[in-house]
Structure 1
Amino acid sequence: MFHQAARRYGAVPVTLDRPLDVSPGAGLDLSYRELAGLVDDLSARLWAAGVRPTERVAIHKSDNVDIVVLACAVSRIGAVPALLSPGLHGRVAGELLERLGRPWLITDRATLEGSLRDAGAPRAAASVPGAGPAGVACLVRQVLTVDRSTGSAGSAGTGDTPGPDGAVPLDAYADAAPHAPVRLHPREPSLITHSSGTTGVPKLAVHCAHTMGNRLVPQKALGWPTRGERAALHLSFAHSRFYHLLGVLLHFGSPLLLIVDPDPASAGPLLARHRPGIVETHPNTFVLWEELADAPGAPLSSVRSYGSTFDAIHPRTVHKLLGASRRRAPWLVQLYGQSETGPVAFQWYSRRGAARADSRRVGTAIPGFTRVRIADGDGRRAAPGTPGRIEARTRGLILTYLGARESYDRQLHDGWWQMGDMGYRDRWGGLYLLDREVDLIDAVNSNLAVEDILMSRLEELREVVIVPGAEREPVPVVCVRGDRPLDARRWGEATADLPGMSAPLQWRFDDLPRTSTWKIKRLEITAMLDRGALPAAGLGG
């Protein structure tokens, strides 16, 4: 992608908010051409290190844009990048590395000495009774690090002592000769990402060029109206969505602003300085960025198009974002889908439409690429307006779950993929999302709908999540901006006409268990409540 874009657009700028770990000297202002050159350089180093086509290369390091550059470099020599979120717990990362079957590992010293320190402990204990903690080396073929070396590590031929777990720095191969790109068959595995893990240990989703391409084509069509506009992105670099969006933006030659730190104090001035016409981030980050709507410098005033994926976005947030733009007719596009499917439905909000839109409507299927249906308890197509399981048929479906084929097969029936969500369709084909199947509470028709109402009625809320308590009663967990105490009177007024719920528990937003895309892990909150592990502060705490 970078090489094609460099040939077409060359000097188009790419701005970062922190230097790349693999090349800190490159600074914060790069171009398509410079990033393509860095991909060339890193792919040559990986080949010199011994990485070969079809081999799996796990990338699990501190969050930064070089995760993307490394993934492209791995892919360029025909190896298969396996992207593990920087936010994974060490034991979870260790389990995923084991499923990958002794992959190469690209990481950094901070991750090796932090979350990955005991990643191999379960395997070591199983193979050697009484063994203590073991590093990640027992799970991988070789550890490569992006850290600057003080010399060339052991295997590079100088006799220096290797780093933790025998790690070899990539700059040990800094003078490697360029290697020609290797293109795999379109239906061979070409990328591995993982599911969100909201319902347990994440699954490893195996993508190929054929299905990734089928996802990219309709997204290019959606990107046509804003072709060439500057784009500001804060997304998980370990999620397949980032690579689809990157493919669209590079295809149209958009200048890029890639943001690692979403704190409004940092992101706001960057957005105000660079005036993007396109902004995409996670729905929960958009909630955080509501405060940028009237921030100094009007950082969102130039936005023509917002993009939201991963989770449903609150109507209050849509209204504030669109109201912050000074463009004549800004819009927000919401994509509904999964890592396994890519987008299967899309919804378009305008300023006028957002005010009267049903927040549970997540859109319609993508003509020519996806179909959506609702299945009843017996697997038959449900009538319009009747709730049931949401299923999708898509040309962008992953090949399998690595090491969990049985889970993949359970979700796929006659070409229809079970999304794990409950919803219904209207007679015109509009899809409405109610809840995840595992999150259903009998006393509440839709947790998500109630949460949307509360967010709209209580401007001070940063987040509200309704989970089942010990008796399956609805328990609202709320977060207030600035961690101020929740006003009991306002809460009572806001909930007077809603289904009965327990007294709210007020938590700090940082205490909510989240995925790398800031999805809330509802099952984990329920488990925390069962254990009495309440990091609450304020009302109900």
Structure 2
Amino acid sequence: MFRIPSSNNGLYLGSVPESAAAKNGGTLITLDHDMVTLPGVGRTLTVAELAEHVDDMAGRLWAAGVRPSEHVAVHLSPGFDIYVLATAAARIGAVPVMLSPALEGESVAALLERLDRPHLLTDGTKLDGTLSAFPIGDLTDRVIVTTGSRPDAVTLAGLAGSPRQQPVMLHPDQPALMTHTSGTTGLPKLVVHSARSLRGRYRPQERLASLVRRRETVAIHVSYVHSRMYLALAVLLPRAMPLVIMNESAPAGVAELFAETQPGFIETHPNSFMEWEELVDHPRKPLASVRYFSSTFDAIHPSTMDRLLGASERRSPLFFQIYGQSECGPLVGRGYTRKNAHKADGRCLGFAMPGVTNFRLVSRNGARPSRETPGYIEVSTGGRALTYFGERERFDQQVHGSWWRGGDVGYRSRFGCLHLLDREVDVIPTIHSTLEVEDTLLGRLEELTELVVVAGPHQEPVPVVCTKDDRPLQAERWRSAVADLAPMAAPVQMPLTELPRTATMKIKRIELSQWLRTQEGPES
């Protein structure tokens, strides 16, 4: 059923901590939270200790009845425990299915049903909360709880001391990990990764890491259920880079953490970087030590890059913008400096990585793809996933030979840069690019903390705005800022915390648009 292939054929997540520990076991990992599953660990551990915990948990999962190639749905409260337990499942050849802590119970139940009775690895908080209204026992083969006990469930804590197991490595083209799409357009799709496709994702990320010439402390605030977390640690752990793994993104706590740990490299979601703009003027200078900023989930606004780079006191800091998708991993990218970030075109995502990724533009209407007539963006990469679990036909509709059509539209500049204008489902006919409008206005109005342009009740473009400290938006400043832009409805202001988001902090634009349609009408 399984064999141990050459490591060149695939990346085996379950062996990453052990391999890294053999090289650099003393490297420190700092957490901003306690792991509920491992309460005695505290907030600092070494790579060697991480490998020991993964091996321990793998033995417990085997004792609980988990076997190679079986699905283990991982749905836990946020914490580094998620990485430890998912990696432990992978170590014994099981297929971790990563379900975001932010998913509603209805979505979790629907995905469990699609998986056809998987093991469920969860905790009491989830069982008593979002999952309490659903027949979890009927939807799963067995429930494994990380803490406490539940009737008809296996208690992981009760399996301490279980015999350790040798790592199991499935064939490189068998399923090895499942993550889900962002869920911006309904029930998330389960993306199936293999060891070979994970190796394909590893290559561009390893190339980026090779640009970091000196040893830096790396701070990571990324969803624990996203493939990016597993690839980031696969690249960083063997390099002896001290890590800071973050649960929280609130600026006040981040300021204290960064002031203490002095990271030289930060990676997070674009929206978290926007939230951290207020750290620029913080008296403890929490961003002074940062040489590298990295954003890998969405395009980021140029004004955000400019402000963060300006807060660094390192010589020649860099901001890496990487464009990728759940189905394919990182695809194109480029770097920005203090000299060019402020004048960057926010729609320019960067360039393909020679020998690793490629992209092309395909006409939508018979016209040659250009800024005025954007085309479908199709990409080619060794990191493309195998399929959507239970939805192969849906996946195959986006496959065109060796090319993948991900649903974005854009064009290629004369310099070869890929420009993303919009998601196809977010296109508003009267607006050239909603993302371009957002870039422009966020650069003009410093009081804004977020701006999203979505379709209103009559398909009119409606700007939804959030301001610093929720202060009222000044009507005259708004009118001046939008005077040279395409007509839009009056802005709708709402608190930043009320914007619907995915696990990777993306705004759920369709959900926001649907909410607008239920209102009496936008207010200025």
Q: Give, in whole Å, the separation in 1 of the partners of 2:124 and 2:367.
A: 52
- The reply to whether residue 138 of structure 1 matches residue 138 of structure 2 is yes
Bigger Cα displacement from structure 2, 41-50 vs 351-360: 351-360
State the secondary structure of the residue aligned to 2:465. Answer: strand
Q: Give, in whole Å, the separation in 2 of the partners of 1:296 and 1:174.
A: 46
Gaps spanning 5+ residues in structure 1: where? 120-134, 154-162
Q: Does the aligned pair in 1 maintain the 2:58–2:92 contact within 8 Å?
A: yes
2:340 equivalent among 353, 359, 363: 353
Q: Give, in whole Å, the separation in 2 of the partners of 1:57 and 1:444.
A: 44
Q: Does the aligned pair in 1 maintain the 2:367–2:373 contact within 8 Å?
A: no
Q: Does the aligned pair in 2 maintain the 1:385–1:426 contact within 8 Å?
A: no
- The reply to whether residue 40 of structure 1 matches residue 26 of structure 2 is no
Structure 1, residues 47-80: CA drift from partner, whole Å, max 9, x if none?
1111000001010010001100011100000101
Moved over 4 A (4+): 378-381, 383-386
Q: 1:407 — aligned with what?
A: 394
Deviation at 1:316, TM superposition (A): 0.9
Deviation at 1:386, TM superposition (A): 4.7
- The reply to whether residue 472 of structure 1 matches residue 472 of structure 2 is no
Q: Give, in whole Å, the separation in 1 of the partners of 2:402 and 2:369.
A: 17
State the secondary structure of the residue aligned to 2:286. Answer: coil
Q: Give, in whole Å, the separation in 1 of the partners of 2:63 and 2:367.
A: 55
Q: Does the aligned pair in 1 maintain the 2:64–2:154 contact within 8 Å?
A: no
2:206 equivalent among 197, 220, 231: 220
Q: Give, in whole Å, the separation in 1 of the partners of 2:370 and 2:127.
A: 53
Q: Give, in whole Å, the separation in 2 of the partners of 1:458 and 1:33.
A: 48
Q: 1:24 — aligned with what?
A: 39
Deviation at 1:167, TM superposition (A): 2.3
Overall identity of the aligned pairs, in %: 49
1:85-164 matches, within 5 Å, as 85-119=100-134, 135-147=135-147, 149=148, 163=150
Q: 2:516 — aligned with what?
A: 529
Q: 2:161 — aligned with what?
A: 175
- The reply to whether residue 211 of structure 1 matches residue 197 of structure 2 is yes
Q: Give, in whole Å, the separation in 2 of the partners of 1:519 and 1:478.
A: 15
Deviation at 1:527, TM superposition (A): 0.9
Structure 1, residues 15-49: CA drift from partner, whole Å, max 9, x if none?
01111111011101111011100001100000111
- The reply to whether residue 329 of structure 1 matches residue 335 of structure 2 is no
Q: Give, in whole Å, the separation in 1 of the partners of 2:238 and 2:394.
A: 35
Q: Does the aligned pair in 2 maintain the 1:385–1:425 contact within 8 Å?
A: no
Q: Give, in whole Å, the separation in 1 of the partners of 2:296 and 2:363.
A: 26
Q: 1:278 — aligned with what?
A: 265
Bigger Cα displacement from structure 2, 348-357 vs 309-318: 348-357
Q: Give, in whole Å, the separation in 1 of the partners of 2:28 and 2:409.
A: 43
Q: Does the aligned pair in 2 maintain the 1:373–1:381 contact within 8 Å?
A: no
Q: Does the aligned pair in 2 maintain the 1:385–1:427 contact within 8 Å?
A: no
Q: 2:379 — aligned with what?
A: 392
Distance 1:262 1:384, change over 3 A: closer
Opposite residue 100 of structure 1, the aligned amino acid is L
Q: Give, in whole Å, the separation in 2 of the partners of 1:490 and 1:480.
A: 13
Q: Does the aligned pair in 2 maintain the 1:401–1:408 contact within 8 Å?
A: yes
Opposite residue 220 of structure 1, the aligned amino acid is E
Q: TM-score, normalised by structure 2?
A: 0.94
Distance 1:211 1:379, change over 3 A: farther
Q: Does the aligned pair in 2 maintain the 1:444–1:474 contact within 8 Å?
A: yes
Deviation at 1:383, TM superposition (A): 6.4
* Aligned residues between the structures: 508
Q: TM-score, normalised by structure 1?
A: 0.92
Opposite residue 127 of structure 2, the aligned amino acid is L
Structure 1, residues 439-489: CA drift from partner, whole Å, max 9, x if none?
111111000010011111111111111011122111011111111111111
Deviation at 1:377, TM superposition (A): 2.2
Opposite residue 49 of structure 1, the aligned amino acid is A
State the secondary structure of the residue aligned to 2:166. Answer: coil
1:463-502 matches, within 5 Å, as 463-502=450-489
Opposite residue 192 of structure 2, the aligned amino acid is V
Q: Give, in whole Å, the separation in 2 of the partners of 1:10 and 1:467.
A: 49
Q: Does the aligned pair in 1 maintain the 2:98–2:226 contact within 8 Å?
A: yes
Deviation at 1:172, TM superposition (A): 1.1
Opposite residue 512 of structure 1, the aligned amino acid is L
